[in-house]
């Protein structure tokens, strides 16, 4: 619920875009002040916007200025950096998280001026900002965590594509060796990517291909099994040249991503240690630290949520509801919060099934009721979210 409407403030709303922004101003009485203005990403235009805001403050006799800016990927950041130093009350709104204002009110009008005016009204009604920009180190960790998530997805997709091609070039190889992307096995595949190339090499050459600096190669028995498999599988003449080129490039990209993922993970851990933040829910049994850090960067301090239901709603794990008289119908998940928070929570649940008794029992009970795996995952995500909120608020109140 929104706080009481402040008196004596000029309310300014910005609708953000890639190349320009739309500004709307409302006075302390709630009426529009001046014309809505288009400003570009230049210092001169930003100075013009600040001058117009100061003029509106002088004309209306307002005691202060409140600014609201719509979050639009990274396009709103220059606007925030130019307005925040001059106006302390600068708020950034994610339209999906604006309390009491559904997304349809902001982004589906097809009119930038109306959208900017909606943001100004939200500021006037004292709707709290959805995205705080007061902690730069935490913002850096958040973006690194999101970048790491995207890299992990890219690597997973590359590996799936690589294994699909390998099924044509060397059928059965992945079933024989198990983990294809271990270092010694990828070294051999980089030089001998198909059954045909393996047949042309001898055992000594294959073993040397798996070694690094003459050490840590495959066992001779495993290589003999690979040669035996290569002699038993047929060659497929279709797309051979294209697949060989693709395999070589994909393997290089996978190795590069492995290296970069390690560097980014180390950077996140280093920055997190420097922050010195120790949330209580990090002590939950089986909760992976990397997932816990990613969760914290998305949800921040859990004590700011007055009830656990509000926290679950913030994560987008509550269902849509339709009420008619006394009948309540539940639909799909709202998914109104950060998808990165839900992703980290889902990954944490997947890793905690066998390491946390509460999550394991919750998953087991859901399975016994005939739930599908995806439904079990969501149920356990809600369970973990409630555990996290309870631990933080118990410590606060206790």
- What are 348-390's pLDDT values in tens digits? 999 999 899 999 999 999 999 999 999 999 999 999 999 999 9
Q: How far apart are CA 190 and CA 187, in angstroms?
A: 5
137-182 pLDDT, tens digit per residue, is: 999 999 999 999 999 999 999 999 999 999 999 999 999 998 899 9
Residue 209, number of CB atoms within 10 A of its CB: 19
Residue % of the chain over a pLDDT of 90: 63
**395: pLDDT confidence band, cut at 50, 70 and 90?**
low
Q: What are the phi and psi torsion angles at 216 (to 5°)? A: 60, 50
6-39 pLDDT, tens digit per residue, is: 568 999 999 998 889 999 999 998 888 888 889 9
Q: How far apart are CA 197 and CA 211, in angstroms?
A: 18
Which 8-state DSSP code applies to residue 91? E
For residue 391, pLDDT beyond 60? yes
Find the mean pLDDT for residues 107-129: 80
Q: Identify the helix (H) or strand (E) that includes residue 319.
A: strand 319-324
Determine how β-strand 9-15 pairs with β-strand 20-26: antiparallel
37-90 pLDDT, tens digit per residue, is: 899 999 999 999 999 999 999 998 888 899 999 988 889 999 999 998 888 889
Residue % of the chain over a pLDDT of 70: 93
Q: Identify the helix (H) or strand (E) that includes residue 70.
A: strand 64-70
Question: Rounded to whole angstroms, what are the CA distances from 251 to 12, 16, 166, 176, 258?
Answer: 52, 40, 11, 19, 11
Q: Which residue has the higher pLDDT, 214 or 342?
A: 342
Query: Do residues 345 and 284 lie in contact, with contact meaning Cβ atoms separated by under 8 Å?
Result: no
In sequence order, the β-bridge partners of residue 215 are 212
State the pLDDT at residue 324: 80
Query: Do residues 387 and 358 lie in contact, with contact meaning Cβ atoms separated by under 8 Å?
Result: yes
Give CATH 1.10.287.4070 domain extents, the chain. Answer: 139-271
State the pLDDT at residue 96: 66
**4: pLDDT confidence band, cut at 50, 70 and 90?**
low
Q: How far apart are CA 226 and CA 72, in angstroms?
A: 52
Query: Do residues 181 and 198 lie in contact, with contact meaning Cβ atoms separated by under 8 Å?
Result: no
Residue identified by tokens 């005016």 is 117
State the pLDDT at residue 6: 55
State the pLDDT at residue 396: 53
State the pLDDT at residue 100: 47
State the pLDDT at residue 175: 92
State the pLDDT at residue 329: 82
Q: Which residue has the higher pLDDT, 260 or 125?
A: 260
Give CATH 3.30.420.140 domain extents, the chain. Answer: 9-134
Query: Do residues 185 and 210 lie in contact, with contact meaning Cβ atoms separated by under 8 Å?
Result: yes
Over the chain, what is the mean pLDDT? 88
Of the listed ranges 217-226, 283-292, 322-331, the one predicted with least confidence = 322-331
CATH T-level fold of 9-134:
Nucleotidyltransferase; domain 5 (3.30.420)
Helix axes 183-191, 203-210, angle to 10 degrees: 130
Query: Do residues 47 and 82 lie in contact, with contact meaning Cβ atoms separated by under 8 Å?
Result: no
State the pLDDT at residue 102: 40
Which class would CATH give 139-271?
A: mainly alpha
Of the listed ranges 49-58, 219-228, 387-396, the one predicted with least confidence = 387-396
């Amino acid at each position: 619920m929104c706080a009481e409407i402040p008196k004596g403030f000029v309310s300014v709303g910005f609708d953000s875009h890639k190349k320009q922004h739309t500004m709307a101003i409302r006075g302390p009485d709630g009426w529009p002040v001046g014309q809505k203005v288009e400003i570009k990403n230049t210092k001169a235009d930003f100075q013009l916007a600040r001058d117009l805001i100061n003029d509106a403050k002088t004309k209306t006799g307002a005691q202060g200025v409140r600014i609201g800016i719509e979050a639009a990927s990274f396009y709103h950041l220059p606007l925030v950096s130019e307005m925040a130093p001059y106006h302390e009350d600068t708020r950034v709104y994610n339209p999906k998280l604006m309390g009491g204002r559904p997304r349809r009110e902001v982004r589906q009008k097809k009119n930038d001026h109306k959208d900017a005016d909606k943001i100004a009204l939200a500021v006037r009604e004292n709707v709290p900002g959805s995205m705080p920009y007061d902690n730069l180190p935490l913002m850096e960790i958040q973006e690194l965590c999101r970048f790491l998530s995207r890299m992990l997805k890219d690597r997973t997709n590359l590996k799936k594509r690589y294994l699909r091609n390998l099924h044509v070039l060397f059928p059965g190889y992945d079933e024989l060796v198990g983990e294809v992307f271990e270092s010694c096995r990828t070294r051999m595949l980089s030089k001998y990517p198909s059954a045909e190339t393996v047949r042309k090499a001898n055992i000594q050459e294959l073993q040397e291909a798996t070694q690094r600096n003459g050490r840590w190669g495959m066992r001779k028995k495993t290589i003999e099994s690979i040669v035996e498999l290569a002699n038993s599988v047929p060659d497929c003449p279709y797309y051979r040249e294209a697949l060989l080129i693709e395999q070589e490039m994909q393997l290089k990209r996978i190795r590069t991503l492995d290296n970069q993922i390690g560097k980014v993970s180390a950077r996140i851990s280093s920055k997190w240690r420097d922050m010195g933040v120790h949330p209580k829910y990090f002590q939950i049994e089986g909760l992976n630290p990397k997932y816990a850090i990613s969760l914290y960067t998305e949800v921040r301090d859990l004590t700011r949520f007055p009830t656990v239901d509000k926290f679950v709603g913030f994560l987008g794990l509550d269902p849509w509801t339709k009420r008619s008289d006394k009948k309540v119908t539940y639909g799909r998940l709202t998914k109104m919060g950060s998808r990165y928070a839900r992703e980290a929570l889902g990954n944490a649940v997947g890793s905690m099934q066998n390491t946390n008794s509460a999550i394991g029992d919750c998953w087991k009970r859901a399975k016994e009721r005939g739930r599908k795996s995806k439904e079990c995952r969501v149920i356990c995500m809600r369970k973990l979210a409630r555990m996290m909120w309870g631990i933080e608020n118990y410590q606060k109140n206790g």
